[in-house]
Chains A and B, each alone.
Chain A
Amino acid sequence: MSELPVAIVTVVATVVTVNVAIAIYGIFSRPSLIKKVIALVLFTDSVNILAVIVGFRIAGPFPSPPILPGQPAKPEDIGVFPARSVDPIPQALLVTAIVIGLAVSVFLLGLAVLYYKHFGTTDTRVIPEVEEAEAPK
C-alpha cells in the first residue's frame, strides 16, 4: 500500500525539477527586467515545493496533515497523532521562505520602476550603454 505516496512524490519531484530548469532558463535568456523578476518568482516557488516533498511520509493508506482534529481526552489518544501525520518542521520553514521570497520580489519590482524612471528603458541590453554615456568623465 505504499505505492501511492511513492508515485505521488516521484511525479511531483520530476515536474518540479523541469520547472526549475525552465525558470532558470527564463532568468538567463530573456532581456527584460520584469521578465527576469517573473522567472525568479517561478524558480522560488518550485524550490519551495521540493521542501514540501522532504516532509512527506509513508503512513497507513495516506498520511494526515499535522493538525490535531480535537482535544485528546486520554493520554493514549496522543499516540495516534504521530503515527499518521507528516513532518511539521519543513512546513514552518516553508512559510518563512514564502515571506522572504515575497519581500525580495516586491523590492525588485520597486527597483525596476526606479530603473525605468532613471534610464528610460527596462531592456538589460540597452542599460550598460546608457550607463556609460552618463558616467562622470
Chain B
Amino acid sequence: MLVPLIVVLMFSFFSVVATYLAVVERDLVNSAVFMALQGVCYALICYTLMAPDVVVAYIPVSSGLLPIMLLAVLRKTERYER
C-alpha cells in the first residue's frame, strides 16, 4: 500500500535533479539526454496518478521524438553553448 508513495517520492526527486542538470549543463547533447530522463520520471508519476492515456501519449513524444530531433538540430548548429 506504501508502494505508490515510495515510487512518487523517488521519481519526483530524480526529476528535480534531472531538470536542474538539464538547465545548467553546457554540453547540449547531455542536456537532451537529461530531458529524456525527466520525461521518464514524469511518465511514472503520471502512471501513479492513474492517467494511462497521458503516459502513452507522453513517452514517445518526450523520450523518443524530441531528443532525436534535438540531436539532428545540434549536429547542424553549435553543440556547446557560449
Contact = CB atoms under 8 A, between A and B. Distances in A.
Interface of A: 4, 7-8, 11-12, 15-16, 18-19, 22-23, 25-26, 30-32, 34-35, 37-39, 41-42, 45-46, 48-49, 52-53, 55-56, 61-67, 86, 91-92, 94-95, 98-99, 102, 105-106, 109, 112-113, 116, 121-123
Interface of B: 1, 4-5, 8-9, 12-13, 15-16, 19-20, 22-23, 28, 31-32, 35, 38-39, 42, 45-46, 48-54, 57-58, 61-62, 65-66, 69-70, 73-74, 76-78, 81-82
B38 A45 contact: yes
Contact of A98 (B4, B19, B54, B81): B54
Contacts of A95: 53-54, 57
B49 A53 contact: yes
Contact of A67 (B16, B52, B70): B52
Contacts, number: 140
